[in-house]
Structure 1
Amino acid sequence: METTLPWVVRELPPPGSLDLWLLRVSDVPAGILDEAVLDATERQRAAALMHAADRTRFTAAHVALRRLLGTYLSLRPEEIHFGRDTCPCCGGPHGRPTVLGAGRELFFSLSHRGDLALVGTAVAPIGVDVDLVSDQTATAELASMLHVDEQAELDALAPELRPRALARLWTRKEAYLKGLGSGLGRDPSLDYVGSGGPQGPYPPSGWTLLDVPVDRGYAAAVAVRGELNVTAPTISRLSVLDVVQYTTELSGLELPSGPDVVRTPHDALQTARTPP
């Protein structure tokens, strides 16, 4: 249905703050995802995944990302066009993802693994990462890519504590590298981000680095250039259906119908924000 209402009304995060959205991308009701809003590259990446569940989770994460970004930019999801900054390591066209045109003032980052996706937005460079806690075999393989001091601190832990510690450490590192715009194009052993212990990360100069509370069996982190005004930013915990309802109702559009679609009151969605 056509409407003259704006797609949304959400202000950009003010300087020194950020918005975090923790999304459950599994168990998505049939017919709720409008894959047509994705661009050709996103659809190709989804089609290349072997398992149907992985394709659904990928599609859900990227549809949700477009809808959330549209709430800041007064754009419909299909009107958002992505580009890439130049890589700070090699100058190639594969650096930090950006929104082209009117969205250049908004920085964002998306990470998804398993049943969860994490979206971060700010008016400064930002990176997020969410990952599963791996077994000890995978821990040993990944640990070889760490800074020498991180490796030593990890080795000092009891073996049963290492998988969780490494997951915390690795998500901190990936969030920072994504914030830089290099990703793993930069050698992850170059930067020390602290041990994987619960005492918290050690942010590189000029950055804020925080752990993000997530479901059991996962770890997550966010990195933002500059200082934050808060030490524990609010996290919006939503399902993909919540995101569809939230953005649809704000825009005045009609929610897709189906036996699995249950409306959630708009004010409930606005208050479904869980502090870490």
Structure 2
Amino acid sequence: MIEYVNQLGAGAPLTGPAPTGTDAVVWSLDTTADTLGGFRTQDAPTVLDAGEREKAGRLRLPGLRHRYLAAHLGVRVLLGSYLGLPPQAVPLTREDCPCCAEPHGRPAVSGNPLHFSLSHTGDIAYIAFAALPVGVDIEQTPSPETVTDVIHSLHPDETAELDALTPAERPEALARLWSRKEACLKATGTGLALGLVDPYVGTLATPPPLADYTLVDLPAPHGHAAALALTRPSSAPGRGTTV
């Protein structure tokens, strides 16, 4: 069961138990908020680890830095609530990359089987949690120029579906497709390293059935599309020593 989008607000979240089996939970938050989960966003550096602080420090525009801090504060607040830890005590790491085996793959919690995925665009962040590898993505509807740039980089059937639409219909369809594809690639941990052709996720109103993932579209604000991909138990890789 997938529990659809819960809102993380200013107060401490009521998460309940962590998802198990094939369940998944999705949270959203406003990345412009001054307070999230009982913590002020401006104080997020005291909660984040050195790597997160370093990345935040490279963002020179205050608005972008605030959004980054809010999104990563939200991840730690929610993980801490599920795991019974203070947010700053959640031990985050990186899994090995499936493409090169270097430790820059999916973010993970050391020593714990709870998986998570973060996506943010504009003022919105979505965070998914599951006991299996999970990916979540939210996208703003792209410009017609973006459709032109990427349409021939996709699966041939996806290119054909977009070509069959009117120019006015294509941006919304591409947002739907892109959120689905990104969610799958995040669940796998490859990201865009292997290109945009596979897996086929389609542009139609309902995602196609996939062998390796349970793929669902998520509710999203107007002008956005969002999706979640949960790895099927038979396809889930071993977690090794990272989780």
Partners of 2:217 and 2:198 lie apart in 1 by 20
State how 1:29-44 maps to structure 2 within 5 Å: 32-33=40-41, 34-35=43-44, 36-44=46-54
> Considering only CA atoms, is the larger Rg found in Structure 1 or Structure 2?
1
Residue 55 of structure 1, aligned match among 61, 65, 83: 65
Relative to 1, partners in 2 of residues 1:144 and 1:51: Cα closer, same or farther, differing over 3 Å?
farther
Give the structure 1 partner of residue 169 of structure 2. Answer: 161
Give unpaired runs (5+ residues) of structure 1: 1-6, 228-276
Residue 24 of structure 1, aligned match among 19, 30, 35: 30
Q: 3-state DSSP class of the match of 2:51? A: helix
- Which runs of at least 4 in structure 1 moved beyond 6 Å after TM superposition? none
1:94 counterpart = 2:125: no
Give the structure 2 partner of residue 207 of structure 1. Answer: 213
- By how many angstroms is 1:19 displaced? 0.6
Equivalenced residues, count: 217
- By how many angstroms is 1:42 displaced? 1.0
Give unpaired runs (5+ residues) of structure 2: 1-12, 234-243
Give the structure 2 partner of residue 81 of structure 1. Answer: 91
Q: CA RMSD in A?
A: 1.9
Partners of 1:46 and 1:74 lie apart in 2 by 26
- By how many angstroms is 1:144 displaced? 2.8
Partners of 2:169 and 2:92 lie apart in 1 by 40
Matched-pair identity in %: 43
Verify the 8 A CA contact 2:15 2:78 in the aligned structure 1: no
- By how many angstroms is 1:27 displaced? 4.2
Q: Which has the higher strand share?
A: 2
Partners of 1:24 and 1:146 lie apart in 2 by 31
State how 1:1-276 maps to structure 2 within 5 Å: 10-28=16-34, 32-33=40-41, 34-35=43-44, 36-101=46-111, 104-194=112-202, 196-198=203-205, 200-226=206-232
- By how many angstroms is 1:60 displaced? 0.4
Verify the 8 A CA contact 2:33 2:70 in the aligned structure 1: no
- By how many angstroms is 1:217 displaced? 1.1
Give the structure 2 partner of residue 267 of structure 1. Answer: none
